[in-house]
Structure 1
Amino acid sequence: MSDNPEETPPYKLVYFDIRGLAEPVRWMFCLAGIPFIDERVPLVEWNEAKKRYSEHVGQLPILYFDDQELSQVHTVMRFVARRLGFNGLTDMDAARADEATDLVYDLRLCAVTYRECFTTKTPDIVRHTVFRDFKNEPSQKKKEPMRKDLLNVHIPKYFGKFEELLNTSGGKYIAGSVLTYADLAVANFLDVATEMIGPDVLDDFPGLQELKDLVFALPPIQQWCANRTLAQGYSSTG
Protein backbone atom coordinates (compact mmCIF):
# COMPACT_ATOMS: atom_id res chain seq x y z
CA MET A 1 0.00 0.00 0.00
CA SER A 2 1.06 3.62 -0.49
CA ASP A 3 3.19 5.24 2.24
CA ASN A 4 1.29 8.49 1.68
CA PRO A 5 -2.28 8.15 2.95
CA GLU A 6 -3.34 11.00 0.65
CA GLU A 7 -2.25 9.09 -2.45
CA THR A 8 -4.63 6.63 -4.01
CA PRO A 9 -2.90 3.54 -5.42
CA PRO A 10 -3.42 3.29 -9.18
CA TYR A 11 -4.68 -0.28 -8.98
CA LYS A 12 -7.52 -1.87 -7.05
CA LEU A 13 -7.98 -5.63 -7.12
CA VAL A 14 -11.30 -7.01 -5.92
CA TYR A 15 -11.36 -10.72 -5.13
CA PHE A 16 -12.57 -13.18 -2.53
CA ASP A 17 -10.95 -13.46 0.90
CA ILE A 18 -8.96 -16.52 -0.18
CA ARG A 19 -5.81 -17.21 -2.18
CA GLY A 20 -7.75 -18.93 -4.92
CA LEU A 21 -6.83 -17.97 -8.47
CA ALA A 22 -5.88 -14.31 -7.94
CA GLU A 23 -3.04 -14.65 -5.44
CA PRO A 24 -0.38 -14.47 -8.21
CA VAL A 25 -1.77 -11.04 -9.16
CA ARG A 26 -1.24 -9.82 -5.60
CA TRP A 27 2.26 -11.28 -5.64
CA MET A 28 3.17 -9.46 -8.86
CA PHE A 29 2.26 -6.12 -7.31
CA CYS A 30 4.34 -6.97 -4.24
CA LEU A 31 7.35 -8.13 -6.26
CA ALA A 32 7.24 -5.00 -8.42
CA GLY A 33 6.80 -2.74 -5.41
CA ILE A 34 3.57 -1.37 -6.87
CA PRO A 35 0.99 -0.12 -4.36
CA PHE A 36 -2.51 -1.49 -4.83
CA ILE A 37 -5.80 -1.69 -3.00
CA ASP A 38 -6.45 -5.29 -2.03
CA GLU A 39 -10.21 -5.41 -1.59
CA ARG A 40 -11.55 -8.77 -0.42
CA VAL A 41 -15.12 -9.98 -0.47
CA PRO A 42 -15.85 -12.50 2.30
CA LEU A 43 -17.16 -15.77 0.93
CA VAL A 44 -19.96 -15.74 3.48
CA GLU A 45 -21.23 -12.50 1.92
CA TRP A 46 -20.89 -13.54 -1.70
CA ASN A 47 -24.48 -14.59 -2.41
CA GLU A 48 -25.55 -11.04 -1.69
CA ALA A 49 -22.39 -9.21 -2.76
CA LYS A 50 -22.34 -10.69 -6.26
CA LYS A 51 -25.31 -8.51 -7.21
CA ARG A 52 -22.94 -5.53 -7.17
CA TYR A 53 -20.93 -7.12 -9.97
CA SER A 54 -23.74 -8.00 -12.35
CA GLU A 55 -22.09 -6.02 -15.15
CA HIS A 56 -19.19 -8.46 -14.84
CA VAL A 57 -21.58 -11.45 -14.97
CA GLY A 58 -21.30 -11.74 -11.20
CA GLN A 59 -17.68 -12.86 -11.19
CA LEU A 60 -14.40 -11.88 -9.56
CA PRO A 61 -11.64 -10.81 -9.78
CA ILE A 62 -12.04 -7.30 -11.10
CA LEU A 63 -9.10 -4.97 -11.60
CA TYR A 64 -9.76 -1.21 -11.50
CA PHE A 65 -7.12 1.14 -12.94
CA ASP A 66 -7.01 4.51 -14.74
CA ASP A 67 -10.83 4.74 -14.68
CA GLN A 68 -11.03 1.38 -16.42
CA GLU A 69 -12.06 -2.10 -15.36
CA LEU A 70 -10.99 -5.60 -16.30
CA SER A 71 -12.59 -8.89 -15.30
CA GLN A 72 -11.78 -12.61 -15.76
CA VAL A 73 -8.87 -13.99 -13.79
CA HIS A 74 -6.55 -14.88 -16.66
CA THR A 75 -7.20 -11.58 -18.43
CA VAL A 76 -6.32 -9.68 -15.25
CA MET A 77 -3.30 -11.87 -14.56
CA ARG A 78 -1.84 -11.49 -18.05
CA PHE A 79 -2.51 -7.76 -18.19
CA VAL A 80 -0.66 -7.21 -14.91
CA ALA A 81 2.15 -9.52 -16.04
CA ARG A 82 2.64 -7.52 -19.24
CA ARG A 83 2.55 -4.19 -17.41
CA LEU A 84 4.92 -5.19 -14.63
CA GLY A 85 7.40 -7.34 -16.55
CA PHE A 86 6.36 -10.88 -15.59
CA ASN A 87 5.48 -12.11 -19.07
CA GLY A 88 8.87 -13.48 -20.18
CA LEU A 89 11.43 -12.16 -22.63
CA THR A 90 10.06 -13.62 -25.86
CA ASP A 91 6.73 -14.42 -27.44
CA MET A 92 7.36 -18.12 -26.78
CA ASP A 93 8.11 -17.39 -23.11
CA ALA A 94 4.76 -15.60 -22.91
CA ALA A 95 3.01 -18.51 -24.63
CA ARG A 96 4.62 -21.05 -22.29
CA ALA A 97 3.58 -18.95 -19.30
CA ASP A 98 0.02 -18.91 -20.63
CA GLU A 99 0.17 -22.67 -21.18
CA ALA A 100 1.33 -23.44 -17.65
CA THR A 101 -1.22 -21.13 -16.09
CA ASP A 102 -4.05 -22.59 -18.15
CA LEU A 103 -2.95 -26.06 -16.98
CA VAL A 104 -3.28 -24.91 -13.37
CA TYR A 105 -6.84 -23.82 -14.11
CA ASP A 106 -7.60 -27.12 -15.87
CA LEU A 107 -6.40 -29.05 -12.85
CA ARG A 108 -8.74 -27.04 -10.66
CA LEU A 109 -11.59 -27.90 -13.01
CA CYS A 110 -10.68 -31.58 -12.71
CA ALA A 111 -11.23 -31.26 -8.96
CA VAL A 112 -14.54 -29.43 -9.46
CA THR A 113 -16.00 -32.52 -11.18
CA TYR A 114 -15.90 -34.33 -7.81
CA ARG A 115 -18.69 -32.27 -6.27
CA GLU A 116 -20.12 -35.31 -4.53
CA CYS A 117 -16.91 -35.43 -2.47
CA PHE A 118 -17.37 -32.10 -0.70
CA THR A 119 -19.97 -29.52 0.25
CA THR A 120 -19.73 -25.95 -1.01
CA LYS A 121 -21.78 -22.97 0.10
CA THR A 122 -20.85 -21.04 -3.04
CA PRO A 123 -21.54 -23.37 -5.98
CA ASP A 124 -21.36 -20.62 -8.60
CA ILE A 125 -17.71 -19.93 -7.73
CA VAL A 126 -16.64 -23.45 -6.79
CA ARG A 127 -13.72 -23.35 -9.24
CA HIS A 128 -12.22 -20.71 -6.92
CA THR A 129 -13.06 -22.48 -3.66
CA VAL A 130 -12.83 -26.18 -4.56
CA PHE A 131 -9.75 -27.01 -2.50
CA ARG A 132 -10.92 -24.96 0.44
CA ASP A 133 -14.27 -26.76 0.29
CA PHE A 134 -12.52 -30.11 0.01
CA LYS A 135 -10.29 -29.46 3.01
CA ASN A 136 -13.25 -28.30 5.09
CA GLU A 137 -15.34 -31.37 4.24
CA PRO A 138 -15.58 -33.37 7.51
CA SER A 139 -16.35 -36.74 5.93
CA GLN A 140 -13.16 -38.61 5.03
CA LYS A 141 -15.27 -41.24 3.30
CA LYS A 142 -16.78 -38.63 0.96
CA LYS A 143 -13.37 -37.16 0.23
CA GLU A 144 -11.63 -40.42 -0.60
CA PRO A 145 -12.61 -40.78 -4.31
CA MET A 146 -11.36 -37.28 -5.12
CA ARG A 147 -8.17 -37.71 -3.09
CA LYS A 148 -7.45 -41.07 -4.73
CA ASP A 149 -7.93 -39.78 -8.27
CA LEU A 150 -5.93 -36.65 -7.58
CA LEU A 151 -2.99 -38.67 -6.30
CA ASN A 152 -3.13 -41.44 -8.88
CA VAL A 153 -4.41 -39.74 -12.02
CA HIS A 154 -4.57 -35.94 -12.13
CA ILE A 155 -1.54 -34.93 -10.05
CA PRO A 156 0.91 -37.22 -11.91
CA LYS A 157 -0.39 -36.07 -15.29
CA TYR A 158 -0.39 -32.34 -14.64
CA PHE A 159 2.65 -32.17 -12.36
CA GLY A 160 4.52 -34.24 -14.92
CA LYS A 161 3.65 -31.64 -17.56
CA PHE A 162 4.80 -28.83 -15.28
CA GLU A 163 8.13 -30.59 -14.81
CA GLU A 164 8.42 -31.08 -18.56
CA LEU A 165 7.91 -27.34 -19.14
CA LEU A 166 10.38 -26.58 -16.37
CA ASN A 167 13.06 -28.85 -17.83
CA THR A 168 12.48 -27.55 -21.36
CA SER A 169 13.12 -23.99 -20.24
CA GLY A 170 16.32 -24.82 -18.36
CA GLY A 171 15.16 -26.21 -15.02
CA LYS A 172 14.84 -23.00 -12.98
CA TYR A 173 11.78 -21.19 -14.29
CA ILE A 174 8.79 -22.70 -16.04
CA ALA A 175 8.66 -20.32 -19.03
CA GLY A 176 12.07 -19.10 -20.12
CA SER A 177 15.09 -17.72 -18.30
CA VAL A 178 13.35 -15.24 -15.99
CA LEU A 179 10.56 -15.34 -13.43
CA THR A 180 7.10 -15.10 -15.01
CA TYR A 181 3.59 -15.01 -13.69
CA ALA A 182 3.35 -18.72 -14.50
CA ASP A 183 5.96 -19.50 -11.83
CA LEU A 184 3.77 -17.67 -9.34
CA ALA A 185 0.58 -19.41 -10.48
CA VAL A 186 2.19 -22.85 -10.35
CA ALA A 187 3.93 -22.24 -7.01
CA ASN A 188 0.69 -20.96 -5.48
CA PHE A 189 -1.12 -24.08 -6.63
CA LEU A 190 1.68 -26.36 -5.39
CA ASP A 191 1.38 -24.77 -1.97
CA VAL A 192 -2.37 -25.38 -1.95
CA ALA A 193 -1.80 -29.01 -3.02
CA THR A 194 0.78 -29.71 -0.32
CA GLU A 195 -1.47 -28.18 2.31
CA MET A 196 -4.54 -30.09 1.16
CA ILE A 197 -3.06 -33.50 0.36
CA GLY A 198 0.23 -33.48 2.24
CA PRO A 199 3.86 -32.43 1.77
CA ASP A 200 4.71 -35.75 0.11
CA VAL A 201 2.68 -34.80 -2.97
CA LEU A 202 5.87 -33.34 -4.46
CA ASP A 203 8.15 -36.26 -3.60
CA ASP A 204 8.24 -37.45 -7.22
CA PHE A 205 8.66 -33.93 -8.60
CA PRO A 206 11.89 -32.45 -7.23
CA GLY A 207 11.96 -29.73 -9.88
CA LEU A 208 8.57 -28.47 -8.77
CA GLN A 209 9.66 -28.55 -5.14
CA GLU A 210 12.65 -26.38 -6.07
CA LEU A 211 10.41 -23.99 -8.00
CA LYS A 212 8.01 -23.70 -5.07
CA ASP A 213 10.90 -23.08 -2.65
CA LEU A 214 12.39 -20.47 -4.99
CA VAL A 215 9.14 -18.50 -5.26
CA PHE A 216 8.35 -18.62 -1.56
CA ALA A 217 11.90 -17.54 -0.72
CA LEU A 218 11.46 -14.24 -2.59
CA PRO A 219 11.50 -11.58 0.18
CA PRO A 220 8.34 -9.70 -0.95
CA ILE A 221 6.41 -12.98 -1.07
CA GLN A 222 7.86 -14.06 2.28
CA GLN A 223 6.64 -10.80 3.78
CA TRP A 224 3.25 -11.11 2.10
CA CYS A 225 2.73 -14.63 3.42
CA ALA A 226 3.87 -13.62 6.90
CA ASN A 227 1.19 -10.93 6.96
CA ARG A 228 -1.47 -13.25 5.54
CA THR A 229 -3.47 -14.11 8.63
CA LEU A 230 -7.03 -15.08 9.39
CA ALA A 231 -7.18 -12.14 11.77
CA GLN A 232 -7.11 -9.91 8.70
CA GLY A 233 -10.22 -11.57 7.39
CA TYR A 234 -8.29 -13.64 4.89
CA SER A 235 -8.37 -17.38 4.51
CA SER A 236 -5.01 -18.97 3.71
CA THR A 237 -6.64 -22.11 2.40
CA GLY A 238 -7.61 -22.64 -1.20
Structure 2
Amino acid sequence: MENAIEVKGLLKSYGKLEVLKGVDFSVGRGSIFALLGSNGAGKTTVVRILSTLLKPDGGTATVNGFEVQAEPAKVRGSISLTGQFAAVDEVLTGRENLILVGKLRRVGHPGQVADDLLTRFGLTDAGGRRVGTYSGGMRRRLDIAMSLIGNPPVIFLDEPTTGLDPEARLEVWKEIQELAGGGTTVLLTTQYLEEAEKLADRIAILHQGTIIVSGTLAELRAMLPPAQVEYVERQPTLEEIFLAIIGNGAQR
Protein backbone atom coordinates (compact mmCIF):
# COMPACT_ATOMS: atom_id res chain seq x y z
CA MET A 1 0.00 0.00 0.00
CA GLU A 2 1.29 3.46 -0.87
CA ASN A 3 2.07 5.45 2.26
CA ALA A 4 0.32 8.74 2.97
CA ILE A 5 2.85 9.68 5.67
CA GLU A 6 6.57 8.89 5.84
CA VAL A 7 8.71 9.92 8.82
CA LYS A 8 12.44 9.18 9.03
CA GLY A 9 14.88 10.20 11.75
CA LEU A 10 12.77 13.05 13.09
CA LEU A 11 14.59 15.16 15.69
CA LYS A 12 13.39 17.98 17.93
CA SER A 13 14.87 19.58 21.03
CA TYR A 14 13.98 22.52 23.23
CA GLY A 15 17.28 23.70 24.62
CA LYS A 16 18.85 20.71 26.36
CA LEU A 17 15.57 18.79 26.39
CA GLU A 18 15.47 16.21 23.59
CA VAL A 19 11.83 15.58 22.77
CA LEU A 20 12.25 13.54 19.57
CA LYS A 21 15.41 11.46 19.18
CA GLY A 22 15.03 9.95 15.74
CA VAL A 23 11.39 9.00 15.13
CA ASP A 24 10.58 6.66 12.22
CA PHE A 25 7.17 5.43 11.03
CA SER A 26 4.93 5.27 7.98
CA VAL A 27 1.15 5.37 7.55
CA GLY A 28 -0.66 3.63 4.69
CA ARG A 29 -3.34 5.47 2.74
CA GLY A 30 -6.86 5.03 4.04
CA SER A 31 -5.68 3.52 7.34
CA ILE A 32 -5.88 4.57 10.99
CA PHE A 33 -2.48 4.86 12.65
CA ALA A 34 -2.37 5.30 16.43
CA LEU A 35 0.60 6.99 18.07
CA LEU A 36 0.58 5.98 21.72
CA GLY A 37 2.52 7.57 24.53
CA SER A 38 2.25 9.06 27.98
CA ASN A 39 2.09 12.81 28.63
CA GLY A 40 5.29 14.47 27.44
CA ALA A 41 6.26 11.58 25.15
CA GLY A 42 6.33 13.87 22.10
CA LYS A 43 3.10 12.90 20.35
CA THR A 44 1.85 16.45 19.87
CA THR A 45 5.31 17.56 18.76
CA VAL A 46 5.19 14.97 15.97
CA VAL A 47 1.75 16.19 14.86
CA ARG A 48 2.84 19.83 14.94
CA ILE A 49 5.83 19.04 12.74
CA LEU A 50 3.75 17.03 10.26
CA SER A 51 1.17 19.81 10.05
CA THR A 52 3.93 22.42 9.39
CA LEU A 53 3.32 24.26 12.67
CA LEU A 54 6.78 23.42 14.00
CA LYS A 55 10.14 22.93 12.31
CA PRO A 56 12.14 19.80 13.13
CA ASP A 57 15.82 19.95 13.98
CA GLY A 58 16.58 17.01 11.72
CA GLY A 59 15.14 14.12 9.77
CA THR A 60 12.57 14.10 6.97
CA ALA A 61 8.80 13.86 6.78
CA THR A 62 6.40 13.67 3.85
CA VAL A 63 2.62 13.97 3.90
CA ASN A 64 0.52 13.02 0.88
CA GLY A 65 3.74 12.91 -1.16
CA PHE A 66 4.87 16.42 -0.19
CA GLU A 67 8.00 17.15 1.88
CA VAL A 68 6.97 18.98 5.05
CA GLN A 69 9.81 21.50 5.09
CA ALA A 70 10.25 22.02 1.35
CA GLU A 71 6.55 22.13 0.37
CA PRO A 72 4.62 23.35 3.44
CA ALA A 73 1.81 25.00 1.44
CA LYS A 74 1.07 21.76 -0.41
CA VAL A 75 1.13 19.84 2.86
CA ARG A 76 -1.33 22.27 4.44
CA GLY A 77 -3.58 21.87 1.40
CA SER A 78 -3.62 18.10 1.97
CA ILE A 79 -4.41 17.94 5.67
CA SER A 80 -6.74 18.91 8.44
CA LEU A 81 -5.85 19.06 12.13
CA THR A 82 -8.13 18.56 15.11
CA GLY A 83 -6.37 19.32 18.39
CA GLN A 84 -7.04 18.31 21.96
CA PHE A 85 -9.60 21.08 22.38
CA ALA A 86 -12.44 21.69 19.94
CA ALA A 87 -11.59 24.70 17.76
CA VAL A 88 -15.13 26.00 17.41
CA ASP A 89 -16.60 29.48 17.80
CA GLU A 90 -19.05 29.28 20.70
CA VAL A 91 -20.88 32.46 19.68
CA LEU A 92 -21.78 31.11 16.24
CA THR A 93 -24.24 28.31 15.61
CA GLY A 94 -23.01 24.92 14.48
CA ARG A 95 -24.13 25.63 10.91
CA GLU A 96 -22.45 29.05 10.92
CA ASN A 97 -19.17 27.47 12.07
CA LEU A 98 -19.28 25.05 9.14
CA ILE A 99 -20.19 27.73 6.61
CA LEU A 100 -17.36 29.97 7.86
CA VAL A 101 -14.78 27.22 7.36
CA GLY A 102 -16.29 26.39 3.97
CA LYS A 103 -15.85 29.99 2.83
CA LEU A 104 -12.29 30.13 4.17
CA ARG A 105 -11.47 26.98 2.21
CA ARG A 106 -13.30 28.32 -0.84
CA VAL A 107 -15.53 25.32 -1.36
CA GLY A 108 -18.54 25.61 -3.60
CA HIS A 109 -21.99 25.95 -2.00
CA PRO A 110 -20.79 26.16 1.63
CA GLY A 111 -24.37 26.18 2.96
CA GLN A 112 -25.15 22.84 1.33
CA VAL A 113 -21.82 21.42 2.53
CA ALA A 114 -22.71 22.54 6.07
CA ASP A 115 -26.15 20.94 5.92
CA ASP A 116 -24.72 17.66 4.59
CA LEU A 117 -22.15 17.51 7.40
CA LEU A 118 -24.73 18.32 10.06
CA THR A 119 -26.77 15.38 8.81
CA ARG A 120 -23.77 13.06 8.63
CA PHE A 121 -22.71 13.84 12.19
CA GLY A 122 -26.19 13.78 13.71
CA LEU A 123 -26.23 17.51 14.43
CA THR A 124 -29.07 18.68 12.21
CA ASP A 125 -31.43 19.48 15.11
CA ALA A 126 -28.64 21.40 16.89
CA GLY A 127 -27.35 23.17 13.77
CA GLY A 128 -29.24 26.39 14.51
CA ARG A 129 -28.13 26.58 18.15
CA ARG A 130 -25.11 28.47 19.46
CA VAL A 131 -22.18 26.11 19.97
CA GLY A 132 -21.83 27.44 23.51
CA THR A 133 -24.90 25.31 24.37
CA TYR A 134 -23.36 22.07 22.95
CA SER A 135 -22.15 19.16 25.04
CA GLY A 136 -18.51 18.06 24.84
CA GLY A 137 -19.33 15.22 22.47
CA MET A 138 -21.33 17.49 20.17
CA ARG A 139 -18.50 20.02 20.03
CA ARG A 140 -16.01 17.32 19.17
CA ARG A 141 -18.25 15.95 16.42
CA LEU A 142 -18.67 19.47 15.03
CA ASP A 143 -14.91 19.97 15.22
CA ILE A 144 -14.28 16.79 13.21
CA ALA A 145 -17.01 17.78 10.74
CA MET A 146 -15.26 21.11 10.21
CA SER A 147 -12.00 19.30 9.54
CA LEU A 148 -13.62 17.37 6.66
CA ILE A 149 -14.57 20.45 4.64
CA GLY A 150 -12.63 20.37 1.40
CA ASN A 151 -12.15 16.58 1.65
CA PRO A 152 -8.52 16.53 2.90
CA PRO A 153 -6.87 13.15 2.23
CA VAL A 154 -5.03 13.19 5.58
CA ILE A 155 -6.43 14.11 9.00
CA PHE A 156 -4.50 14.48 12.25
CA LEU A 157 -6.51 13.87 15.43
CA ASP A 158 -4.51 14.86 18.50
CA GLU A 159 -6.11 13.14 21.53
CA PRO A 160 -9.63 13.71 20.14
CA THR A 161 -11.55 12.13 23.05
CA THR A 162 -9.74 13.76 25.96
CA GLY A 163 -12.31 14.86 28.55
CA LEU A 164 -15.28 13.18 26.87
CA ASP A 165 -17.72 10.90 28.67
CA PRO A 166 -17.98 7.22 27.56
CA GLU A 167 -21.01 7.78 25.35
CA ALA A 168 -19.39 10.72 23.54
CA ARG A 169 -16.17 8.75 23.09
CA LEU A 170 -18.08 5.99 21.29
CA GLU A 171 -19.70 8.57 19.01
CA VAL A 172 -16.30 9.97 18.06
CA TRP A 173 -14.86 6.47 17.54
CA LYS A 174 -17.65 5.71 15.09
CA GLU A 175 -16.93 8.86 13.08
CA ILE A 176 -13.19 8.08 12.96
CA GLN A 177 -13.89 4.58 11.65
CA GLU A 178 -16.19 5.98 8.99
CA LEU A 179 -13.52 8.45 7.89
CA ALA A 180 -11.03 5.66 7.24
CA GLY A 181 -13.75 3.60 5.60
CA GLY A 182 -14.21 6.42 3.12
CA GLY A 183 -10.51 6.45 2.22
CA THR A 184 -9.24 9.19 4.54
CA THR A 185 -5.90 8.58 6.23
CA VAL A 186 -6.09 9.19 9.98
CA LEU A 187 -3.15 9.72 12.32
CA LEU A 188 -4.48 9.49 15.86
CA THR A 189 -2.55 10.33 19.01
CA THR A 190 -3.94 9.04 22.28
CA GLN A 191 -3.12 8.05 25.84
CA TYR A 192 -6.00 5.59 25.90
CA LEU A 193 -4.91 2.04 25.12
CA GLU A 194 -8.49 0.93 24.52
CA GLU A 195 -8.93 3.69 21.94
CA ALA A 196 -5.95 2.47 19.92
CA GLU A 197 -7.07 -1.13 20.29
CA LYS A 198 -10.56 -0.36 18.98
CA LEU A 199 -9.61 1.92 16.09
CA ALA A 200 -6.11 1.46 14.77
CA ASP A 201 -4.90 -0.64 11.86
CA ARG A 202 -1.35 -0.11 13.11
CA ILE A 203 -0.01 1.13 16.44
CA ALA A 204 3.30 2.73 17.41
CA ILE A 205 4.46 3.42 20.95
CA LEU A 206 6.48 6.61 21.42
CA HIS A 207 8.63 6.52 24.55
CA GLN A 208 11.40 8.88 25.60
CA GLY A 209 11.64 10.38 22.13
CA THR A 210 11.75 7.23 20.00
CA ILE A 211 9.36 4.64 18.59
CA ILE A 212 10.09 1.56 20.67
CA VAL A 213 7.62 -0.75 18.93
CA SER A 214 5.29 -0.59 15.94
CA GLY A 215 2.90 -3.01 14.27
CA THR A 216 -0.62 -4.35 14.14
CA LEU A 217 -2.36 -5.30 17.37
CA ALA A 218 -1.81 -8.97 16.54
CA GLU A 219 1.91 -8.35 15.97
CA LEU A 220 2.22 -6.52 19.28
CA ARG A 221 0.39 -9.29 21.12
CA ALA A 222 2.75 -11.85 19.58
CA MET A 223 5.66 -10.15 21.34
CA LEU A 224 4.34 -11.32 24.70
CA PRO A 225 4.32 -14.89 26.08
CA PRO A 226 1.24 -16.93 25.10
CA ALA A 227 -1.76 -16.18 27.27
CA GLN A 228 -2.67 -18.71 29.93
CA VAL A 229 -6.24 -19.94 29.81
CA GLU A 230 -8.02 -19.27 33.06
CA TYR A 231 -11.70 -19.71 33.82
CA VAL A 232 -12.90 -16.76 35.85
CA GLU A 233 -16.20 -15.03 36.31
CA ARG A 234 -16.15 -11.86 34.25
CA GLN A 235 -17.79 -8.84 35.79
CA PRO A 236 -19.07 -6.01 33.59
CA THR A 237 -16.81 -2.97 33.42
CA LEU A 238 -17.98 0.36 34.79
CA GLU A 239 -18.15 1.69 31.22
CA GLU A 240 -20.44 -1.18 30.19
CA ILE A 241 -22.66 -0.55 33.21
CA PHE A 242 -22.80 3.18 32.45
CA LEU A 243 -23.72 2.66 28.79
CA ALA A 244 -26.30 -0.02 29.63
CA ILE A 245 -28.03 2.25 32.12
CA ILE A 246 -27.94 5.25 29.78
CA GLY A 247 -29.33 3.10 26.97
CA ASN A 248 -32.14 1.71 29.10
CA GLY A 249 -32.96 5.16 30.38
CA ALA A 250 -33.20 6.48 26.83
CA GLN A 251 -35.81 3.86 26.03
CA ARG A 252 -38.08 4.76 28.94
Shared fold (TM-score, shorter chain, > 0.5):
no
Q: TM-score, normalised by structure 2?
A: 0.31
TM-score normalised according to structure 1 size:
0.32
Decide which structure has greater helix share: 1
* Structure having the larger proportion of residues in strand: 2
Larger Cα Rg: Structure 1 or Structure 2?
Answer: 2
Higher RCO by CA contacts (8 Å cutoff, separation 6 or greater): 2
